[in-house]
Amino acid sequence: MKDRIFLSSPHMSDEGYEMEYIKEAFETNWIAPLGENVNEFENELATKVGSKAAAALSSGTAAIHLALRAAGVGKGDIVFCPTLTFSATANPIIYQNAIPVFIDSDYKTWNMCPKALEKAFMKYPEVKAVIVVHLYGLSTDMDKIVELCRKHKVVLIEDAAESLGTYYKGKHTGTFGDYGIFSFNGNKIITTSGGGMLVSNNKEKVTKVRFWATQSRDSARHYQHSELGFNYRMSNVVAGIGRGQLKILDQRVEKKKYIFDFYKRELGGLEGIQFMPKNEWDEPNFWLSSITLTGNVRPIDIIEALEMENIESRPIWKPMHLQPFFEKYDFVGTDVSVRLFENGVCLPSDTKMTDNNLVKVVETIKKLWCE
């Protein structure tokens, strides 16, 4: 495995920032459940992205779940959700016994299509919340999405799990909606091994999220619970890793951009290859460099050729409305997401990749155009 080129694997700082905070947690015996690292990680991330408050949680999925709960989403409520995403975006809708309606993508952003969203509002005027995703670190066209949500007075939740460090018109993704969420899973641009964060400018709601996430334990000498609670809080050790990782976020974004530019320079001239879009208002973190194919070479050809060289890649997300569990729910759109899935490949984008690794990837791919 040491010679394998990964899609996107954990990458600790060369400076050892993470170990400093972990060591402090051990020396003070603040291992779990909370402690200074948790409090400071919340403060530092909120400051980094420009949000007023944050809650450190066990996963990005937990953050979406509690964002929906904070938005008042409950049984039978409609929630709009992009179809081109990972299931973690949609699953919390079901946790709340709500009903997802899946919205198509557009080619301009690969994210939620504003025109499809507008049609969905016309079809389901009673919708309670909208979740948008910034796929692969590409920002959604937020001006149009925010305008539609404000017009219809609907809560907006940003799933920025893949886009920490991405800017839309100079502002961090995850800070446009009523709630934003980030993920620190092992494959994300920074990682805590597992974990997530909910951010919002509504400090009262964030305080409530922290309460729910700690089993809704009331302020009493004995154990008392007046509301349903969840075991969703981040541990002090994990938060220490996050504090160290946050220090090198800008370095990771720079390396991801370098990888994307390398691929685009070396592969952009091949017939039938198109790279994921970059718009004038978008400063992506380039979490995963992704392409679509329209010629004789197909995604599976690239995936299998790379695998033969011990190089990891994967298809674009399979749309939710095509998934066996979610196919019974409504979909609004024209199948742009389906075509992206059928024609798309995520190339290895690991920040530990060397130039020799990148050369190996592009040479393996180029050979397919010579056969």
Cα separation, 117 vs 120, in Å, equals 5
**Mean pLDDT, rounded, for 200-219:** 96
Phi, psi angle pair for 260, to nearest 5°: -60, -45
The domain limits of the chain are: 17-246, 249-369
Task: Select from 89, 39, 50, 91 the least CA-distant residue to 174.
Answer: 50
CATH topology of domain 17-246: Aspartate Aminotransferase; domain 2 (3.40.640)
DSSP string, 98-122: -EEEEE-B-TTTSSB-HHHHHHHHH
Pair 301, 366: CB distance under 8 Å: no
Q: How far apart are CA 157 and CA 182, in angstroms?
A: 11
The pLDDT of residue 220 is 86
- Whether the pTM exceeds 0.85: the reply is yes
pLDDT at 219: 87
Predicted confidence band at 33 (pLDDT cuts at 50, 70, 90)? confident
The answer to whether the CB of 184 falls within 8 A of the CB of 176 is no
Q: What is the pLDDT of residues 76-128, one digit of tens each?
A: 999 999 999 999 999 999 999 999 999 999 999 999 999 999 999 999 999 99
User: Under a CB-based contact definition with an 8 Å cutoff, are residues 98 and 121 in contact?
Assistant: no
User: What mean pLDDT comes out for the span 134-156?
Assistant: 98
State how far the Cα of 351 lies from the Cα of 330, in Å rounded to an integer. 38
Q: How far apart are the first and last CA of the chain?
A: 29
Least confident of 24-28, 160-164, 202-206: 24-28
What integer pLDDT is reported at residue 303 of this predicted model?
Answer: 98
DSSP 8-state class, residue 214: B
Predicted local confidence at residue 30, as pLDDT: 85
Q: What does the alpha-carbon distance between residue 293 and residue 90 come to, in Å, rounded to a whole number? A: 27
Q: What percent of the chain has pLDDT over 90?
A: 95
> How far is it, in rounded angstroms, from Cα 135 to Cα 198?
18
At position 98, the amino acid (one-letter code) is A
Q: 5 near 365, Cβ under 8 Å?
A: no
17-246 and 249-369 share one fold: no
CATH level 3 topology of 249-369: Aspartate Aminotransferase, domain 1 (3.90.1150)
Torsion angle of C-alpha atoms 89, 92, 93, 97, degrees rounded to 10:
160
pLDDT of residue 34: 83
Q: Is the pLDDT of residue 31 over 90?
A: no
Mean pLDDT of 328-333: 98
Task: Please check the confidence at residue 68 and state whether its pLDDT lies above 80.
Answer: yes
DSSP 8-state secondary structure symbol assigned to residue 185: B
pLDDT at 348: 98
Overall average pLDDT of the 223-241 stretch: 95
